[in-house]
Amino acid sequence: MKKAVVIGLGEVTWGDRGAGSYVIEVLGQEQLGFAVELADLGSRIFDLEVHLYQRDYAILVQAVTRGYPGGYVSQTAYRKPERLWWEFPGNEMRPVLRRLHLAERLGVIPPEMTFIIIEPQMVNQVLGVSKEVRLAIRKAVQLVKRNLEQRGFLPSSPVIPLRRYRLDLLRTTV
C-alpha cells in the first residue's frame, strides 16, 4: 500500500507562524484514510526524516515570509535542497532544508514532495492567527487534499461540500 505524510511546521505561539500546525489540526477532522499520516512537528524538526521514511509522497506545510501579501498560499515541488536555498533565501527555512539534506543523505526522501507555503500577516508572540491566514488555512487544506487525490491517496469526490473546521486551540471556526 502506498503511504503519504502531511507535515505541519511552525510555532503556534508566534501568531501566523503556526499555520502549518493549524492545517494539520483541520486535516485531522477529515476522513483521510489509512494511507495518509498527519504529523504536527511544530518547531521540533529534529525528527523530520523519521516521518519521511518509507513514504511515497510527502507534503510539508509552513508559514514563511517571502514578501507576498499576508495569507498568500503557494505550492512548490521539492527539488534538491541546494536548489531550494534559492527559492527560500531567508533564515526561516534553513533548519528544514538542513534536515531535508540529511534525509536525502540517509536515503529516506520520498520520490515526490510538495511544499505548501503560507505567507504570514502577523508575526508576534501571541496565540492565534490573523483573518488573512485563517482564510489561507482553508485554501491550504484544499490544496493538500487536491494533491493527495491527484496522486491516488484519497478517493475523488464529484461534490465538495463546504465544511467548517474547529480549531480547538483558538476556539475559532474556519
Mean pLDDT by 10 residues, the chain (174 residues): 92 83 90 89 84 93 89 84 60 81 89 92 76 91 94 71 62 62
All three cell numbers of 88, joined, read 527560500
Tell me what pLDDT residue 102 has: 87
Return d(Cα 7, Cα 116) in angstroms, integer: 10
- Considering only CA atoms, which of 141, 153, 147 is closest in space to residue 55? 153
Tell me what pLDDT residue 54 has: 92
Tell me what pLDDT residue 124 has: 73
Tell me what pLDDT residue 98 has: 84
Q: Is the pTM of this model over 0.85?
A: no
Tell me what pLDDT residue 138 has: 92
Tell me what pLDDT residue 27 has: 92
Please name each of the domains of the chain with its CATH number. 4-173 (3.40.50.1450)
Query: Please, which residues have CB within 8 angstroms of residue 121's CB and are 6 or more apart in sequence?
Result: 16, 69, 70, 71, 130, 131, 132, 133
Burial class (CB within 10 angstroms; exposed 0-12, middle 13-18, buried 19+) of 43 = middle
Contact 40, 21 (CB under 8 A): yes
